[in-house]
Amino acid sequence: MKVNPMKIKSFWLCVALALLAVDSFGQRATAPVGLREDENSYTLTNQFVSVRVSKRSGDLTSLKYKGLELLDNESSRASAYWSHDVAHSDPILRVTIDPRKNGGERAEVSLKGIADGSPMGSGPGGSVIADIEIRYALGRDDSGIYTYSIFSHPTNYPGTSVGEARFCAKLNDGVFDWMTVDANRNMKMLTAYDWNHGTQMNMKEVRRMNTGLYQGQVEHKYDYSANQFDVRAWGWSSTTKNVGLWFVNASVEYLSGGPTKVELSAHRDATFNTNALNAPAAPCLLNYWRGSHYGGSMCSIAATDNWTKVIGPFLIYVNSGSTPDAMWKDALAKAGAEEKAWPYGWVAGVDYPHKNERATVSGKLVLNDPQAPNFKFTNLLVGVSAPDYTPARINRGSFGGFGLAGGGDDDTNAAAANLAGGGIGRGTNGGFNFTNRFARFGTNFGGDGTNQFGGRRRFGRGGGGGGFGGGFGGFGLRMVEWQNDAKNYEFWVRADAFGNFSIPNVRSGNYTLHAFADGVLGEFTLTNVTVEAGKNLALGKLSWQPVRYGKQLWDIGIPNRKASEFFKGDDYFHWGWYLEYPKLFPSDVNYTIGKSDFRKDWFFEQLPHNENTNNTTGSGFGRETAWTVKFDLPNAPHGKATLRLALCGVGTRSLTAAINEKSIGSVTGLVYNATINRDGIGGTVVARDLAFDASLMKAGENVLKLTIPGGGLTSGVEYDYLRLELDENAKVVAAP
């Protein structure tokens, strides 16, 4: 047999490469993980990265990829950090995984601050009375660093709350110029020079660009907010250095607000000093686990709570590639691999159950709705969360000031303050200072019902009583449910079109199961779902019968917990639609059932009508806006009718409705969720049903009028869905 010499050379080359890939002990020959420490820092290294961690705070002070520094080194601010760090304590320093004991396979360091009953950390939402531990871990083959944080509150600590909480990274502006959130926000970004030379608009984080690639356009960091359940890998890359840096979430069980939660994700860091024309404005990445935006979330800890929560781990992933798209696709693939690896086997010594200690919850949902006999599930989301609960009342001012209403330190502008009476209030200026500053503001922080929403008092940097944040201080506690819970873990999946679901990696505990789907108004719930460690739970077939109050006469939109299907709802993530609305609908919306198309004829936001045609900044006020819905009935009805409204964006205090010029009631007590002024398409969803005497309607044409009061240009609503139902056999209700 004739032997090909080239094949022989190829064979021995493969053997040589294989021999190079292992050492005499059968270990991989890639560079082992190194761990060095000095008086001030730990340094973790492998063949890809070198990471330096401050022993004083737990911040990342350096992250190098193949020798290239990726973190911001221009400003004096921290480069990469947890908002609640250990800088205000004498941290306990430990090497929790020693690479010298595992052949250089993995290293991990821990920095733990003991609160001893005093406030810890100083995040944008203030400090918290809890022990805080920060860890960083690096494996031999990891192209990046894992980090996680553990909050612990024993029962001998006072009651407390966690304000805004996140991990933030500010990146090297000399490297990164391209930002990717999702397919719609995948772009070369403006420069720091462009931002610093922009013109401030109606909110301090909004500027019109006067230079650069986006000259004439308005930049708003909230235009890059993302659904945290769907966006698992997001970051910045470089068109010149061909490197990328990404946050990768293998699991979102530790984040707040379930699969509809939207939060800030990435943007050009916005210095708010309008005189600082050369100030650093670094590329910024955020991983929010408790945020105040788009309805916000709550994490209130009672003095009697023995509470701990593990935030993460998540991966700060670095890579290289020929284009930003190539690096993004690689980051998405990495996110998929990390999801399969969750829970990580190397995490130890904290409340983090491993695979064999978790369970899978499975079942099949069957929709039982005679008015939708051929319904097929689309985007069916099923999850388990803690049962609804009333949060602890914290008498320390920590909750009262944190209005989820905007205003305050995040939106010090007349428009936002006029809408909702302010909001966050930074440290010594308001809500989250722990020296009972809440009491100092009195009724402004939630207690003044007449100015809770829409009042024209400007609270400035201290914030004010907006939303359900302010409510903690002044007028009672709002129930916590899956949409606004940050205290507990949640586990969600997308089911298939037949209703089959399988929720993996669920921690043991008592849960409520929730489900919702596009096309179904409301949600399914099943209480008392008990999950035992290591024991899978099969729930079998679950019959879901949506609430109906009678025969459906008509509907507008699609119940999907956002306003995306309405006109311009697919292009929502731009500042200033409230200025465009009166140009698109000079006579407001006039919709005819059976003739109009909600995709073209129903704007995605109902807003006060701006009558100042010279308004280019978005400031100021608009007039009352009434939208009409015309519909025909073959006969004069009787009995009870119900107008069903699902709202996904709220910036007003009330909404009134009338049929044929007769009032059918008002929607009041709306909780501001900062969706419209933060350029969102959906925040915390609220449903309201207005029942009325059906005899107010008549045979032939009827007119429904929906009116929002005048006010700031963002003080309107976003509808998720509208439906009119009729039960002619029901008892007649008195007209209001």
The yes-or-no verdict on residue 644 having pLDDT over 70 is yes
| 693-712 pLDDT per residue, tens | 999 999 999 999 999 999 99
| 106-134 pLDDT per residue, tens | 999 999 999 999 998 877 778 999 999 99
**Residues 352-371: what's their mean pLDDT?**
98
- The whole-angstrom separation of Cα 627 and Cα 613 is 21
| 6-58 pLDDT per residue, tens | 433 443 333 333 333 333 334 445 789 999 999 999 999 999 999 999 999 99
Spatial CB neighbours of 3, under 8 Å, sequence gap ≥ 6: none
HSE at residue 477, side-chain half, CA atoms within 13 A, is 15
Return the higher-pLDDT residue of 639 and 269. 639
Tokens of 258: 């379930």
Any idea what the Cα angle at residue 61 is, between residues 56 and 65, rounded to 5°? 145
- The whole-angstrom separation of Cα 364 and Cα 525 is 13
CATH H-level, domain 355-389+483-544: superfamily: Carboxypeptidase-like, regulatory domain (2.60.40.1120)
The yes-or-no verdict on residue 472 having pLDDT over 90 is no
HSE at residue 462, side-chain half, CA atoms within 13 A, is 19
Could you tell me the pTM of the whole model? Answer: 0.87
pLDDT in the model for residue 77: 73
Query: Which letter does DSSP use for residue 353 in this model?
Result: -
Domain with CATH 2.70.98.10 in the chain: 34-183+224-341
Return the higher-pLDDT residue of 186 and 76. 186
| Cβ(404)–Cβ(292) below 8 Å | yes
Domain with CATH 2.60.120.260 in the chain: 551-727
Cα-based torsion angle of the residue sequence 678, 684, 685, 690 in order, rounded to the nearest 10 degrees: -90
- Indicate the residue type of 9: K
Q: What DSSP letter does each residue of 122-168 carry, written as one string?
A: EETTEEESSEEEEEEEEETT-SEEEEEEEEEE-TTSPPEE--SEEEE
**In the CATH hierarchy, which top-level class contains the domain 34-183+224-341?**
mainly beta
Give CA 489 to chain center in angstroms: 15
- The whole-angstrom separation of Cα 124 and Cα 163 is 7
The yes-or-no verdict on residue 404 having pLDDT over 80 is no
The yes-or-no verdict on residue 689 having pLDDT over 80 is yes
**In the CATH hierarchy, which top-level class contains the domain 551-727?**
mainly beta
Omega into 259 within 30° of 0, i.e. cis? no
Spatial CB neighbours of 398, under 8 Å, sequence gap ≥ 6: 126, 160, 161, 163, 431, 432, 434, 438
Omega into 99 within 30° of 0, i.e. cis? no
Domain with CATH 2.60.40.1120 in the chain: 355-389+483-544
pLDDT in the model for residue 395: 63
pLDDT in the model for residue 125: 73
Cα-based torsion angle of the residue sequence 593, 594, 598, 603 in order, rounded to the nearest 10 degrees: -40
